[in-house]
Structure 1
């Protein structure tokens, strides 16, 4: 009867703690609110979300899609993020185990009856009761860190897709610049051959010959520069897709890829549902908040129960006799008395860590809104700038053709032709770079809005 009362008391002690959890209650921090983005399409349906648009649907190039899929399979940053996720998941499993009793066994056999330790076989149980919620707070902290690690994986995934895409656009831009430069070199070389013959025949001054010769050399010098940039980008993309540096296959040109997609721009508060970096920071704040409870629980006494059952005997032959059986159930308590404010300061340290995580969360939220605003304006402004640059190229080409005709008819000096040729060359390169920037701005907008990078 006495043993039954002891067991009942231990059971009540074990069950009662789950209503005695210390620590503050989490409340989501307030964020600055605004109804819409400044540069968004005010007539667009703000109830729709960009997460419904799959990343592959915004690219119309199978080669680019293949590179991105290869990067998702082989990229080492993503593999590292997944390994960290699995590590946190294992730590969570370990923390959950602390909520339950631990069972052990032990055994010892001695041949000498005079030996101080008798022969024994025991099974025992030990359990630190989570009376103040120390282990439950720790478990919740790790659960939030696990969710944060998963969001970190999504951030890496988003970066991989966007970086491969923008790098590919830059690569195709350099391809186009190389083609423009080679064509310009051929044009200048033909002009040099003609002017050199006219110089030899005495029809033009040596100045004309030297001027066109200089422009030929400038075009020749640009070609190895662009080729170096192409090689560097190919090597960067190779690393992103997890392969040794090698040539990157080409698909469509940037001009063929220039298809603008209207993305739904949800109200800024919806970013919390889309942006993995914002959600990650909130989970980290929650984890830090839970550890305040862990620190507070360490200021209170801990309760332990233990049980032991088995056999012990001086003589090995009598080890498993009925008289050798023994059992015991016990409980204990231990706690701090005075340690010069160490436990109190531990709570304060964790409280300030949580404050830091909260400020990081709020800052990330504001940064997310800023990135969307910048991306929306970039898309709109690059579109307007591209239209103007395209008109400039058309006008520069016509100006060059007219200047060239005027020169060969003897109306102007070759300086006018050179000036028109330089203007055309620079306008063509600027238009090529702007085409790349326009494509990249669409990718950055999709990423800033928290686009559906997951698979």
Structure 2
């Protein structure tokens, strides 16, 4: 009889397993494409500036001190570090799920059974020797240990732990990406600050030039060689340039405060080295080859890890269709009187059980979770490929930009030199009445604008040097 029951249970389990296996829907899988162009500009030079540490790339000691402070105090970076800690705890939680759960239990209760119930009536009709009656009401005391364990037949729990570990590594790469972005943002703001300082110096110099021109015009008016209109025009130009000075000072304050915010501190002056802005820009940027982006860019590695985790999620969702095997056991002591509680073997109790559970009817929730996991996995594939494409485009844009800005800077330098000479020429011609005051004003205005444009081009060059380092994946190592 016992063997027949065993065979019956095995048969039921087999039928459940077969039904569960047949109920797994087929999915359309999608694999990622890691192919990238062989080079950026037909160069096979594998030397890559991304391999330089940020302190080797940014040699200005003031800028290095700012970056170092930001890496310690930046709020966003600190938030990201806590996300890493959360992901680490998730690994610990997932690891605990496939290990046995063991606990201890203590209980005490009292029960009064009604006489007109089946149990009470049965007890009343049972012949019991005097002094051997059950207490009424009946207390009960229990102390023991229990254990439960889900046997990970389909590696559902192990895959969940692997997915948590993969996402932890993904958060680490996310932190690295925040670091590269933070370093680039501080460097760009620092160079913008140096550019504003240069513009402020030029404005002050121009105010001096315009003030001298105004004095000349006033003398010309006294000599009746020009009218009051010319004086007013020159005065207006001086006032306009003076107002421009305060606009630049406001931008300097805002840029300093932006840097201080990134450093996680309240506003204070930013120390800087003006000579850094005049340093020579390298003629050649060693960008390496595109395939190095897969190893250097933290956002690409993060997307790759997210893709690996999403594939594990699909396996976890698929395992929900299969039966789960659970084992449980308990051992302890139970008695109606504390004095009998630890009487062995009379008060000893123990149990061992196993259960096999499989979904059979109405699997809509499981199917929905399975389809959603697959859809997220396909999303992760597209996100991974988009991240690679975006990285390549960013590098190409910055490489081309560096080349074009170099040519533009050379031409604008010549323009500034020519217009600076034109100021002296226009002033001399005006003194000799061979040029009118409008020519002087326009020449001064053009010279000022050309100097501003030259500084802006220089700032864009330095920004491009920062951005190419970030685009290649430098800064986090």
TM-score scaled to structure 1, two decimals? 0.90
The answer for the alignment partner of 1:34 in structure 2 is 37
Aligned pairs, how many?
Answer: 433
Quick one: structure 1 residues 99 and 378, their matched pair in 2 at CA, closer, same or farther if it must change by over 3 Å?
Answer: same
The answer for the alignment partner of 1:238 in structure 2 is 260
Decide whether the 8 Å contact of 2:31 with 2:381 is kept in 1.
Answer: no
The answer for the alignment partner of 1:138 in structure 2 is 160
Measure the CA separation in 2 of the matches of 1:257 and 1:283.
40
Measure the CA separation in 2 of the matches of 1:306 and 1:332.
9
Matched, 1:366 2:389: yes
* Deviation digits for residues 313-371 of structure 1 (CA, Å, limit 9, x no counterpart): 11101111212222222111112111153322321111011101110111111000000
Matched, 1:98 2:93: no
- Give how far 1:210 is off: 2.1
Which stretch of the first structure deviates more once superposed, 254-263 or 406-415?
254-263
The answer for the alignment partner of 1:190 in structure 2 is 212
Quick one: structure 1 residues 331 and 258, their matched pair in 2 at CA, closer, same or farther if it must change by over 3 Å?
Answer: same
Quick one: structure 1 residues 257 and 76, their matched pair in 2 at CA, closer, same or farther if it must change by over 3 Å?
Answer: farther
- Give how far 1:451 is off: 1.1
The answer for the alignment partner of 1:45 in structure 2 is 45
Secondary structure at 2:266 match in 1: coil
Structure 2 unmatched runs, 5+:
7-20, 112-134
> Quick one: which of 400, 406, 426 aligns to 1:377?
400
Matched, 1:431 2:454: yes
The answer for the alignment partner of 1:348 in structure 2 is 371
Measure the CA separation in 1 of the matches of 2:152 and 2:139.
34
Counterparts of residues 207-286 of structure 1 (less than 5 Å): 207-260=229-282, 262-286=284-308
Quick one: structure 1 residues 370 and 405, their matched pair in 2 at CA, closer, same or farther if it must change by over 3 Å?
Answer: same
Which stretch of the first structure deviates more once superposed, 319-328 or 26-35?
26-35
Quick one: structure 1 residues 248 and 69, their matched pair in 2 at CA, closer, same or farther if it must change by over 3 Å?
Answer: same
Matched, 1:321 2:343: yes
Counterparts of residues 169-188 of structure 1 (less than 5 Å): 169-188=191-210
Measure the CA separation in 2 of the matches of 1:214 and 1:445.
43
Decide whether the 8 Å contact of 1:258 with 1:439 is kept in 2.
Answer: no
Which stretch of the first structure deviates more once superposed, 208-217 or 427-436?
208-217
Decide whether the 8 Å contact of 1:50 with 1:452 is kept in 2.
Answer: no
Matched, 1:158 2:166: no
Secondary structure at 2:147 match in 1: strand
Which stretch of the first structure deviates more once superposed, 383-392 or 402-411?
402-411
Measure the CA separation in 1 of the matches of 2:401 and 2:366.
52
Measure the CA separation in 1 of the matches of 2:370 and 2:138.
47
- Give how far 1:432 is off: 0.8
- Give how far 1:206 is off: 2.2
Secondary structure at 1:118 match in 2: strand
Quick one: structure 1 residues 340 and 297, their matched pair in 2 at CA, closer, same or farther if it must change by over 3 Å?
Answer: closer
Structure 1 unmatched runs, 5+:
7-19
The answer for the alignment partner of 2:70 in structure 1 is 71
The answer for the alignment partner of 2:114 in structure 1 is none
The answer for the alignment partner of 1:330 in structure 2 is 353
Matched, 1:389 2:412: yes
- Give how far 1:110 is off: 5.6
Measure the CA separation in 1 of the matches of 2:410 and 2:176.
36
Which stretch of the first structure deviates more once superposed, 117-126 or 164-173?
117-126
Measure the CA separation in 1 of the matches of 2:139 and 2:280.
84
Counterparts of residues 195-206 of structure 1 (less than 5 Å): 195-206=217-228
The answer for the alignment partner of 2:129 in structure 1 is none
Measure the CA separation in 1 of the matches of 2:139 and 2:257.
69
Measure the CA separation in 1 of the matches of 2:283 and 2:169.
31
The answer for the alignment partner of 1:17 in structure 2 is none
